[in-house]
Amino acid sequence: MDTHAALLFFIGWPDTGAIMRRLHDGKNIKGGKPGNRYVNLGADENERQKNLRLFKARVGEDASSLKRWQARGDVPGVTKEELEKMTLKH
């Protein structure tokens, strides 16, 4: 991602939560499996946790949702209130 617009695409809309699903650490989800790009956040667990916190702070701590734009099966879609928690300017 080399532009702010690209970041918004994967964080906000239309691919809501795509980045967070790939970067999450597996905590607070069923199964506890981290996202497929979590290992790319750093050389060791401490560095990955530090960089994940940094990324979440940039997006908005309460806005780092794994939800998609629309509901899928029994997983609800992101709500308007959740999107409004983003601190990224759009």
**How confident is the model at residue 9, as a pLDDT?**
77
**How confident is the model at residue 89, as a pLDDT?**
60
pLDDT at 10 over 70: yes
Q: Would you place residue 48 in the very low, low, confident or very high pLDDT band (cuts 50, 70, 90)?
A: very high
pLDDT at 25 over 60: yes
Q: Which residue has the tokens 């879609």?
A: 77
**How confident is the model at residue 41, as a pLDDT?**
95
**How confident is the model at residue 42, as a pLDDT?**
96
Predicted TM-score (pTM) of this structure: 0.76
CA–CA separation, 77 and 41 (whole Å): 26
pLDDT at 90 over 60: no
pLDDT at 74 over 60: yes
Q: What is the mean pLDDT of the chain?
A: 84
